[in-house]
Amino acid sequence: MSDVISTTVDVTNAVAAAVDTKPIEHFLPLSCMRPSTTRVQADRRARFSAKALQELTATIKEVNVLEPILVRPVPPVNNVRYEIVAGERRWLGAQKAGLEVIPAVVRELTDEQVLRLQLIENIQREELHGLSEIEAFEELVKRHEYTVERLAREIAKPRAYVLRRLKLLALCDAARQAYGKGKISEEIAFMLARLPVESLQKEALKDALSADSGEPMTARAFSRHMQLKFMLRLADAAFPTQDDALVPAAGPCGTCPKRTGNQPELFKDVQGTDVCTDPACFASKRAAWTARQVVTAKESGRTIIEGKAAKAIAPSGAHHLEGYVRPTDRCHDDPKQRTYQELLGKSAEAAVLVVPDTGDIVEVLEKTRIAPLLKERGVGARAKTSDPEREKRAKLKKESAFRWKLFEAVRAKSPSVLARADLEQVALTTFSHHGYESRKRILKVWGWDRMNGKPVDSVHHDHVAGARIPKLPNADLTRFLLDNVLVSELHVSAWVSSKPERLLAAARKSRIDVEALRKASESDASPQKNLLAASAKGTKKITKTARKSSGRVARKAA
């Protein structure tokens, strides 16, 4: 009940401050008012918890409605003379509790004030779904000309928070529906919204929902995926990035809002400030630059190979040529490994230009045409009695085939229960595959992070684990394996929000009260310190047990 009182007081104070008048309480019949018809309230109404409403009704039956609801006058229709601005749940609870009147504050409010107050109430009362909130923001910005700064000030949130919310308005319909239904997290929705083209958003959404694992991608994995597939380093661009005439509508890349460095509040998770987040614009600039080069080359009389002929020469792009070489390539038939440019001199100026469908423009020399010129200079195709690289590749292929066969044979003989030695190997291999931070955390938890009184550096992590694991009793080896499964979820990122799913699953299996732990950790100034202290105590016990176990084995052997 105290939560209900404190929340309603907050809302009432916010309302009073917003309209800058002192509230005057009335007792009005429940039948003379109707719910609000705004989209914000309709969305919130759809998310009302039946259980929470039942609890509120029980509270009202016991102590009545303690805080007034907020209403505004509307043109009378039958007996209805007021619209509920804030407090619809209290009104519903009062109806279910059998009350006839309810305390209410009556205010003359504009549509803008109603929308603003409902948004404030929702934010203060409960976690509002992001989609509902951003649609309310959209209405305030479009209909009531709110700025980012004013929104941030009135809802008491940072400017970056408002910018991220408004960015979600750029979601295509498919992504917006997936976000609203909970198929993707808010973090993934935000990353999708940064893609400026609907077709790219749909493609990325499909990737997010159908990862290789068969499960939707985590936010962290999707962030990496986005940077690899949908973002391009401007430093690698073949075109001049500051040429504002290349694609006039796009302007130069340096001042483009889709460059990560120009909107750091929206691209904090992206590595690098000189990254283009619009692959379509990047491709259009590359195509424009190629077209400009082709025109210049034709005007100077150069030979240009385009279309199907270019595709035949460069079927996989400019990095793999069929029957042609670049002047800058090294001639492998030359004992000195000089470039074709160095070998041919002015004759290399006869190079032609190939334009593959990747948009590159490449200067090439036809092998059959330059063969006589190379022969004149004493360079020709050598009879190859052996090819070390080919032999090496063949050897690797055989070794790979053998290892697969060996792997399959071992799997076929796998025991139903792992022996102690196998468990130790699994533990050490799992530990070795972790990144530096996770390995460091495990060593710290087990009290293995110091060697000869000094911190263990990363070079010795595997050595320390390899020495300690065989000494663990079976029960503690099991705990060590579980630690390796869960340790990566101890990392909390400032830019990527994802739940520790494996930790939560383990907690449910062990019937641990997660919410009680969360509350305890919020009141504890240093939960990590307590964890390490408890682990250190446990490690001393482990070491003592291991010594006793080793002694028993030694005596038995004697």
The pLDDT value recorded for residue 417 is: 77
- CA pair distance 204, 131, nearest whole angstrom: 19
Q: Which of 17-21, 211-215, 448-452, 496-500 has the lowest mean pLDDT?
A: 17-21
Determine how many CB atoms are found less than 10 A away from the CB of residue 365: 22
401 or 367: whose pLDDT is higher?
A: 367
Architecture of domain 2-128: Alpha-Beta Complex (3.90)
Q: Record the tokens describing residue 112, joined without a space.
A: 């803008």
Q: Which tens digit of pLDDT belongs to each residue from 79-125?
A: 999 999 988 989 999 999 999 999 999 999 988 888 878 877 766 55
The pLDDT value recorded for residue 128 is: 59
Q: Which of 193-202, 235-244, 251-260, 537-546 has the lowest mean pLDDT?
A: 537-546
Q: Which tens digit of pLDDT belongs to each residue from 449-466?
A: 887 778 887 777 888 888
The pLDDT value recorded for residue 101 is: 93
Q: Which tens digit of pLDDT belongs to each residue from 381-404?
A: 654 555 677 788 888 888 887 777
Q: Which tens digit of pLDDT belongs to each residue from 118-134?
A: 877 766 555 556 777 77
The pLDDT value recorded for residue 43 is: 75
51 or 546: whose pLDDT is higher?
A: 51
The three-point CA angle 36-38-42 to 5° equals 80
Residue 1 pLDDT more than 50?
no
Q: Strand pairing of 69-77 and 101-106?
A: parallel
The pLDDT value recorded for residue 390 is: 79
520 or 498: whose pLDDT is higher?
A: 520
Give the 3-state secondary structure of residue 543: helix
**Alpha carbon 111 to chain centroid distance?**
37
Residue 550 pLDDT more than 60?
no
Spell out the residues 6+ positions from residue 370 whose beta carbon is closer than 8 angstroms to its own. Answer: 325, 340, 344, 347
The pLDDT value recorded for residue 2 is: 34
Q: How confident is the model at residue 175 (pLDDT cuts 50, 70, 90)?
A: very high
Mean pLDDT of the chain: 80
Residue 546 pLDDT more than 80?
no
- CA pair distance 97, 64, nearest whole angstrom: 9
The pLDDT value recorded for residue 381 is: 61
Q: How far are the Cα atoms of 20, 27, 349, 458 from residue 86, in angstroms, in the given order?
A: 16, 15, 79, 58
Q: Which of 172-186, 330-344, 397-411, 521-535 has the lowest mean pLDDT?
A: 521-535
For residues 188-205, average pLDDT: 91
Q: Which of 170-174, 395-399, 547-551 has the lowest mean pLDDT?
A: 547-551
The pLDDT value recorded for residue 319 is: 72
Locus of tokens 């992070």: 449
The pLDDT value recorded for residue 70 is: 92
The full length of the chain comes to: 558
Domain boundaries defined on the chain: 2-128, 187-284, 302-376, 385-414, 421-557
Q: How confident is the model at residue 6 (pLDDT cuts 50, 70, 90)?
A: very low
Residue 218 pLDDT more than 80?
yes
Locus of tokens 């630059």: 289
